[in-house]
Amino acid sequence: MLEMRPTRSTGSAKRGYLIPIGGAEEKETNPVILQHFVDLCGGAEANIVVFPTASRLEDTGARYVDIFKRLGAGKVDFIDLNTRADCENLDNLKRLDEATGIFITGGNQLRLSTIIGGTPLGDQIRYLNAHEVHVAGTSAGAAILPEHMIAGGQSGPTPRQAAVTLSPGLALTNRLVIDQHFRERDRLGRLLAALAYNPYFIGLGVDEDTAGFISPEGVLEVAGSGGITIVDPSDLEYSSIAEARRDDVVTMTNVRIHILAAGDRFDLTSRRPLVQAQLEAEENA
């Protein structure tokens, strides 16, 4: 049986970057996030595979191919995955094996999980990310990156028992739960509800045109025009989720929240924010 956990790196290989993007990333005027992704993947030597599976729009894959080529990527292809059989196709698996970067587009994250989940291609994405291939996902593509995916829920700032629906994700990390379009769609309540179920995780609420570039060492750096809300429940003292009825507000005490902007970092291991302005002030002192 396929284990839903991050694949371990072997030999001298490092993990690739993991890059959740909050959706609606700038693609034309100042595409900071997408340019950084291309540069990470090797620039002119980059070999990027795009999966537009979550999208119902026929031109999504071709549009990202054009964008990445304009940003200097050496080779870019998109692979349509419309059935689970496509995720077993040897030509698709062979093409993916050549990649230095993988990009998963937005749309409906349940299309991603029901088509890719539990397939050889899903397993291969985990293996490649554990062996220096960078994986980015925008919107639905960001939600599916962790072991546990937010599949749906309610808007609003207050956690309620029925505010969130969870399902298995791609399991590229087991430290995080990720929500996207965060500030724009008022999703703090459903991220808090997800963490109330299990406070082991760190919650990332990623605004539109914003990304977290998570290094092999587990340090997240914010890029883009918005912010990332980091919800750390490691010191949670009490949660009423076990007793709450469907529409009840969930009591949560002693939850730590950080709001980080471009250039700020967060160490996922120590759970410590590394704020750019503060670090610069300490260096100058």
pLDDT score of 10: 80
CATH number at residue 242: 3.40.50.880
> Quick check: is 52 in a domain?
yes
Catalytic residue among 25, 113, 134, 139: 139
Q: What angle do CA 88, 51, 109 make, to 5 degrees?
A: 95
DSSP 173: B
Residue 131 is among the residues annotated as catalytic for this protein? no
| Residue 169 backbone phi and psi in degrees, to 5 | -105, -155
Helix intervals (H) in the chain: 32-40, 60-70, 90-97, 109-116, 120-129, 140-143, 188-197, 276-284
Percentage of residues in the chain having pLDDT higher than 70: 98
pLDDT score of 1: 33
Catalytic residue among 147, 208, 221, 239: 208
CA–CA separation, 141 and 157 (whole Å): 23
Catalytic residue among 36, 134, 148, 181: 181
Residue range 77-118, pLDDT digits in tens: 999 999 999 999 999 999 999 999 999 999 999 999 999 999
Helix (H) or strand (E) holding 174: none
Residue range 14-72, pLDDT digits in tens: 999 999 999 999 999 999 999 999 999 999 999 999 999 999 999 999 999 999 999 99
pLDDT of 240 over the 80 cut: yes
Residue range 205-219, pLDDT digits in tens: 999 999 999 999 999
Query: pLDDT confidence of 281, banded at 50, 70, 90?
Result: confident
CA–CA separation, 281 and 14 (whole Å): 32
pTM of the entire structure? 0.96
pLDDT score of 245: 95
Which residue has tokens 């870019």?
Answer: 76
| Segments forming the whole domain that contains residue 97 | 18-284
In 148-234, DSSP assigns E strands to: 148-153, 164-168, 176-180, 202-206, 210-214, 219-224, 228-232
Residue range 130-159, pLDDT digits in tens: 999 999 999 999 999 999 999 999 999 999
> Quick check: is 121 in a domain?
yes
pLDDT score of 4: 55
| Residue 101 backbone phi and psi in degrees, to 5 | -150, 145
Rg (CA), the chain: 18
> Quick check: is 130 in a domain?
yes
Give the other-Cβ count within 10 Å of 1's Cβ: 4
* Total domains present in the chain: 1
> Quick check: is 76 in a domain?
yes
> Quick check: is 168 in a domain?
yes
pLDDT of 3 over the 70 cut: no
> Quick check: is 4 in a domain?
no
Residue 139 is among the residues annotated as catalytic for this protein? yes
Q: What is the dihedral of CA 35, 100, 175, 182, to 10 degrees?
A: 30
CA–CA separation, 246 and 202 (whole Å): 24
